């Protein structure tokens, strides 16, 4: 088991992107509350076309107004080179781009084949590197696709081979609609690890069918130390049927802290941020730790 884990908080982006639009000032308040939790990384915004995702139309204003803490690594998600340029102009140096392992999901999400997206990503990586930024490639539907069903871990691994050859600095595996179970996590991670032992990998789980923390536990046993999570369990995936929220950050942090694994996050501050997230979206969020509180009241 690792002694420490790096959490990337994705509520401001992946979370709010999949909720009804909220005011700019509310986004800024949530970002600032998350910055205050001690979390090491925050996916702050995405730079996408406002017609495609109106929830992120004010990304520039949000980012400009947010308090930046030099201890926190902030990142932005982009769909293409235009978005990448906006992210670079806004000052981001860590940038993520998504491709789906499943061709059908990629077509519905990005209107092109997985291979076409991989060609785009190769060019995007060059653009980012030339600007001195780092590129993370997120492989969506890595553990299953709502349209195609099971996804062969060999296909996921070959996508990784391709993006590593094209210069990706880091990769992430997205369980876009909550289809992962522990053996599927083991199959993908161990195959990629075998081929790219030094490649930084991050796992992004949704708790659609209750397996998110089981998947985290299985990944920890393989030595994985980077996970996405979303405050309060905000968000999901609008392009996939039956999708529901990202795993709640406080559920991940709560389990890790009880296991003696450090995250740097102050659980009480994180729960404050989760309550704020709930207030902002105006509905009860699907986080057990938010609802019931930590297993011990004074747990940090």
User: From the candidates 237, 267, 274, 280, which is the catalytic residue?
Assistant: 237
Side-chain-side CA neighbours of residue 117 (13 Å): 25
Q: How far apart are CA 162 and CA 155, in angstroms?
A: 11
Of 144, 153, 174, 235, the one binding its own copies (CB under 8 A) is 144
Tell the smallest beta-carbon distance from residue 247 to its own copies (Å).
8
Tell the smallest beta-carbon distance from residue 149 to its own copies (Å).
5
Q: Any idea what the Cα angle at residue 147 is, between residues 82 and 57, rounded to 5°?
A: 30
Q: How far apart are CA 13 and CA 269, in angstroms?
A: 19
Tell the smallest beta-carbon distance from residue 203 to its own copies (Å).
14
147 binds its own copies (CB under 8 A): no
3 binds its own copies (CB under 8 A): no
Smaller CB separation from its own copies, 132 or 210:
210
Does 237 participate in catalysis according to the annotation?
A: yes
174 binds its own copies (CB under 8 A): no
Smaller CB separation from its own copies, 13 or 184:
184
Tokens 């539907």 found at: 141
91 binds its own copies (CB under 8 A): no
The H-or-E segment that residue 159 falls in is: helix 153-165
- Please, which residues bridge with residue 99 across strands? 139
Q: How far apart are CA 33 and CA 30, in angstroms?
A: 5
CB burial of 185-215 (b: ≥16 within 10 Å; e: otherwise) equals: bbbbbebbbeebeeeebbbbbbbbeebbbeb
Of 84, 135, 218, 285, the one binding its own copies (CB under 8 A) is 218
The H-or-E segment that residue 106 falls in is: helix 103-110
Tell the smallest beta-carbon distance from residue 176 to its own copies (Å).
12
200 binds its own copies (CB under 8 A): no
Smaller CB separation from its own copies, 39 or 218:
218
Catalytic machinery residues: 237
Footprint on this chain of its own copies (rule: CB under 8 A): 144, 149-150, 177-179, 181-184, 207-214, 216-218, 242-244, 247-248, 251, 254-255, 258-260, 287-289, 291-296
């Amino acid at each position: 088991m690792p002694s420490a884990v790096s959490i990337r908080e994705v509520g401001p982006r992946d979370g709010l992107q999949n909720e009804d639009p909220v005011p700019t000032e509310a986004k800024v308040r949530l970002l600032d509350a998350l910055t205050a939790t001690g979390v090491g990384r925050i996916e702050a915004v995405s730079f996408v076309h406002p017609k495609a995702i109106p929830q992120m139309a004010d990304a520039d204003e949000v980012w400009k107004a947010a308090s930046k803490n030099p201890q926190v690594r902030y990142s932005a998600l982009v769909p293409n080179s235009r978005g990448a340029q906006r992210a670079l102009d806004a000052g981001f140096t860590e940038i993520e781009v998504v491709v789906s392992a499943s061709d059908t999901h990629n077509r519905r999400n990005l209107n092109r084949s997985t291979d076409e997206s991989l060609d785009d990503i190769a060019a995007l990586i060059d653009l980012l590197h030339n600007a001195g930024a780092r590129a993370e490639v997120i492989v969506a539907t890595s553990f299953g696709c709502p349209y195609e069903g099971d996804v062969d871990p060999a296909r996921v691994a070959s996508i990784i081979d391709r993006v590593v050859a094209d210069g990706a600095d880091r990769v992430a595996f997205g369980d876009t609609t909550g289809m992962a179970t522990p053996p599927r996590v083991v199959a993908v991670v161990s195959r990629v690890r075998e081929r790219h032992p030094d490649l930084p990998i991050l796992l992004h789980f949704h708790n659609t069918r209750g397996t998110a923390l089981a998947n985290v536990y299985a990944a920890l046993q393989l030595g994985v130390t980077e996970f996405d999570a979303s405050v309060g369990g905000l968000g999901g995936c609008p392009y996939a049927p039956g999708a529901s929220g990202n795993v709640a950050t406080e559920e991940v942090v709560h389990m890790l802290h009880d296991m003696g694994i450090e995250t740097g996050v102050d659980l009480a501050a994180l729960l404050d941020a989760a309550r704020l997230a709930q207030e902002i979206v105006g509905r009860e969020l699907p986080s057990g730790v938010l609802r019931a509180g930590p297993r011990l009241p004074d747990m940090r």
